[in-house]
A = this chain, B = another copy of it.
């Protein structure tokens, strides 16, 4: 386990993106979005994915110099064509359009087609905070999840992020996959050679399984709720809403046709749209009530929930975003630890471009 500073990882990632042919501005932004995941403790979405982006670029599925364009709009909405660009760059562009529209008419809603993986949803949602807006971000992704009663994988882990500004308290930032467990949690168990808790995955016959490698054996992740009796139809509905808002509304590819992240997986046949889809929202607080009033009550909301009587005095009730913020604080100070296999992978990625490794 080696430890790197935030700046080191941003610099390294930026160099890779520059080598792919990204502009200085895009490479800087992409690196910042990517490493924000490592900083917040969502290691599966950070530099561990850098080589995956490079392979998609090598396979010509990622365009390093996209011409990102608004292709349709109204005062409060837009559809954006990401031109097969890095989602890490397309998403902040789209979120900024949502924010600009909210400045004009109170809210802005942007659906994106023809994009790629955008890193952590939370980064984009949080862009709204400094504008005194509520931010939302979601994306579809390649199908790993079996709906309730399904053997077939039909949906991605389709995350939703919602960021809400507060006053003296830190903001409320929810950012979660619409599955019982995110794929990244499964990957951690795979690396450790450990089994998964019951309820995260099913096997190729649709039976519960604890095999963390089951996705490679025709198994599937389960929607939030795990089974019908515990509300998996709700997790399935949530993942579906993300898919519809991100892809059916924009003209991206949806459901089992969403393009895969691993470049070695062939693209689905008869894709009904272009690339991955995202959906972003921004709501100006003072389009509803004065921001100072809202923040006063949001502080009170947060303080009251934090003070809720816990089951165990050692384990307090948390506010969404607390664990990630605590991690960010630690890793900014102490650095970001990377598994040896991730460091290896980054070194091989550097070698692709004849660059120095980490």
Contact = CB atoms under 8 A, between A and B. Distances in A.
Interface stretch (A24-32, A75-83, A344-352): A75-83
Given A147-B305, A233-B320, 9 more contacts: A74-B284, A74-B287, A109-B283, A154-B305, A172-B244, A174-B240, A176-B233, A233-B318, A251-B289
Interface in A91-119: 104-107, 109, 111
Contacts of A254: 297, 301
Contacts of A147: 305, 308, 317
Interface in A222-260: 224-226, 229-231, 233-238, 240-241, 243-245, 248-251, 254-256
Interface in A50-87: 72, 74-77, 79
A1 interface: no
A46 to B, nearest CB: 21
A151 interface: yes
A288 B250 contact: yes
Contact of A106 (B76, B172, B176, B199): B76
B75 A75 contact: yes
Residue among A200, A234, A289, A317 with most chain B CB within 10 A: A234
Interface string A277-312: 000000111011100011001101100110011111
A107 B289 contact: no
Interface in A171-219: 172, 174, 176-181, 197, 199-200, 205-206
Nearest to A106: B74
